[in-house]
Amino acid sequence: MPFRDLIGQRHARLLLQGALRSARISHAYVFVGPAGTGRLTTARAFAQALLCAEGGDDACDRCAACRKVRAGAHPDLRVISAGRTESGAERRAVGIDQIRELKREAAYGPYEGRRKVFIVEDAEAMRAEAANSLLKLVEEPPPGIVIILISESTEALLPTLVSRSQPVRFGFIPASEVVRVLRQQAGVPEDRAAFLAALSGGRVGRALAAAAAGEDPFERRAEVLRTLEVALRGDIIRLLDAAESVARQRDGIERWLDVALLWVRDVLAWQEAGDAAALANADARPEVVAWARRANPAALRTAAMAIETAKVDLRRNLNARLVLETLFATMASSVPASRS
């Protein structure tokens, strides 16, 4: 995808296209910002422009090199991500073997064009051994090599790696922009687009992934609310069943938690301010109001905190079922006895 088709991230685009125009390409970049805000897409756009036969500050999107990049088949563009090991087990970080392979390829230099581009995803999760190995390459890069590290923050990276790379910062995409993209690119109706945009919290990639998953976000929310109601009623047996059924959703667990958190925050906000304009679930206002009337504010606040904790625990790769059981048990125990 060329730069002109990217969503938002004007700052990153100006910086990278400026580098292309002046032909002052750094041998290493670190793209820093939240996941789902276009870091990888922008890295691919930059790689495409670097490899495009036409040159210039954006890819032509027509030449043979551009077509190969688009098809993921250009021999001078490699994307390294945690992915899976050869035995099929799930990796949690880019490993030393992958960095060794990268260095071997880098030593050969470009295969077709003037440059060879390596994109390293989730660079913050790299272990010390792999990061140190990569550092040596960044310190003494062979000619024509461009390395793009993608990371949530610079703090998690080796400071020496950061200091030898050009930083490019990525921010959250404004909700109005996410709504526009969902409507134009994914054909999502306006009310659902507004909800998905609120749910994505400015991570347009997540909103598009949710739209691509094809599920109706409102049906999804209804299902989340049924489970939340059980949790807030404190029936321990049904809670364990609920934890198990949510845990079975695997890739959907984080979205489940996001939907639940957005709802609990809306109910709390309505209890505190009664401001309809502030609701993320604006389409479901009567239900938010009904919940706000009957839910205990202290229990809701506990629920919101417990959901945030569950999100962090999941990211730390704790067992999903245990995380959810703890979450639901915390919610249930926060409900005043007279109401359960």
Question: Contact positions toward Zn ion, by CB under 5 A?
Answer: 52, 54, 59-60, 63, 66
Q: Least distance (Å) from Zn ion to the CB of residue 329?
A: 56
Q: Which is nearer to Zn ion, 59 or 324 (CB)?
A: 59
* DSSP letters spanning 232-283: HHT-HHHHHHHHHHHHTTGGGHHHHHHHHHHHHHHHHHHHHH--GGG-TTGG
Q: Give first-to-last CA distance, the chain, whole Å.
A: 54
Q: Which is nearer to Zn ion, 60 or 93 (CB)?
A: 60
Q: Closest by alpha carbon to 104, among 78, 86, 70?
A: 78
Number of neighbouring beta carbons within 10 Å of residue 312: 10
Q: Which is nearer to Zn ion, 54 or 191 (CB)?
A: 54
Q: Least distance (Å) from Zn ion to the CB of residue 113?
A: 10
Q: Least distance (Å) from Zn ion to the CB of residue 61?
A: 6
Q: Least distance (Å) from Zn ion to the CB of residue 59?
A: 5
| β-pair partners for 150 | 31
Q: Which is nearer to Zn ion, 63 or 209 (CB)?
A: 63
Q: Least distance (Å) from Zn ion to the CB of residue 257?
A: 42
Q: Which is nearer to Zn ion, 37 or 48 (CB)?
A: 48
Residues in CB range of 227: below 8 A, 6 or more apart: 242, 245, 246, 260
Q: 217-233 vs 236-247: helix axis angle to the nearest 10? A: 150
